[in-house]
Amino acid sequence: MRFSVVIPCFNKAELISLTLNSVLQQTYDNYEILVIDDGSKDDSINVIKSMDHPKVRLIQQENAGVSSARNTGIENAEGDWIAFLDADDWWHPNYLEQLSKAYKANPAAEIIAAAFFCLPDQAQWKPNAWNTPTEPNIEIINNLYINWLKETPFFTSSIALKKSFLDEHKIKFTVGESVGEDLDVWFRSSEIAPIYRVKDELVVYRTEQKESLSSGVSNISDSPAFHLSQLKARVAKGETPVNLIQSAKKFIAHSYLTQSRELIVAGQRMLSIKCIIKSVQEITTKRWWVSLFMALLIPSSYVKKWNKRRSGRKELDA
């Protein structure tokens, strides 16, 4: 089992060495690293070159966006598994080893992921590894839509897919999209194969560096994020597996409710109400009425605190 670690990089000179070192310090040694520099304007390229490590391969391209960079990494990968890592996140030293053990225990697996910690971005952060179990604690996710309603089970930097799986099903990231483009790939993939998830936290996600994990929704629009618009289209065309249709519809409705609360925080209450109306199929649920109550009466500062408390993300002390 050989991993190709695909790292898209755009203007991450201050963080890329930390991220690369987290891979180079892995206890599992069968991997290569492909850093796809997407037209960085800062010193990222020089920082990467200065590491001068035989496992690190730098590929430079003109700026075309994160989706293009990831696709370039997949196309140039020589490993049989593609492990994604963003240029500002960090892997526990046991991450790849735990994924390899999960695959050894489940040789039919084509998608393996892991839980993660969140870390509000802060200067001079130096990660310290924490204790992890000797053997991974694994769960099988057969319905990612229902699972995602309960928690965010993984994110881009804590998932790996078989290259043959991506090739066979012609799965790529949609170029030109940068919000929800990764979730679109995970949800499309989950409709084809189950996800074997290591329940132990093995990755650190720098939360202030990116968009929201849970929805990927812009704070100034009531339009659905890319992954939701794609899912709605698949459901409408009958392309979603029959056993997942109702779960997918529920996920879409709840995503609109999540988006409504983010719009409240952004001061866009009318757009928030539009999102609530779009999720009217959930009118019998408590969450629908609570969202409407928030949109009409609750100050945005309280909604922001509520969102953070309800996110369910574990944070790492640093």
How does pLDDT run across 234-285, given as a tens digit for each residue? 999 999 999 999 999 999 999 999 989 989 998 999 999 999 999 998 899 9
> What is the rounded average pLDDT for all residues in the chain?
90
For the stretch 192-235, pLDDT in tens is: 999 999 999 999 998 765 533 333 344 456 677 899 999 999 99
Confidence class for position 129, pLDDT limits 50, 70, 90:
confident
- pLDDT, residue 224, reads 78
Split at pLDDT 50, 70, 90, the class of 311 is low
Q: Does residue 82 carry a pLDDT above 90?
A: yes
Provide long-range contacts, Cβ within 8 A and 24+ apart, for 19-23.
Answer: 19/85, 19/86, 19/87, 19/88, 19/89, 19/90, 20/48, 20/51, 20/53, 20/56, 22/90, 22/91, 22/92, 22/93, 22/127, 23/85, 23/91
Amino acid of residue 251: F
Domain extents for the chain? 3-209, 226-310
Q: Are 300 and 267 in contact (CB under 8 A)?
A: yes
Task: Write the DSSP string, 154-189.
Answer: --GGGEEEEHHHHHHTT----TT--SSHHHHHHHHH
Residue 90 pLDDT greater than 90, yes or no: yes
* Tens digit of each residue's pLDDT (9 = 90 or more) over 37-65: 999 999 999 999 999 999 999 999 999 99
Question: Whole-angstrom Cα distance, residue 271 to residue 260?
Answer: 7
Superfamily of domain 3-209: Spore Coat Polysaccharide Biosynthesis Protein SpsA; Chain A (3.90.550.10)
How far is residue 286's CA from residue 278's CA, in Å, rounded to a whole number?
A: 16
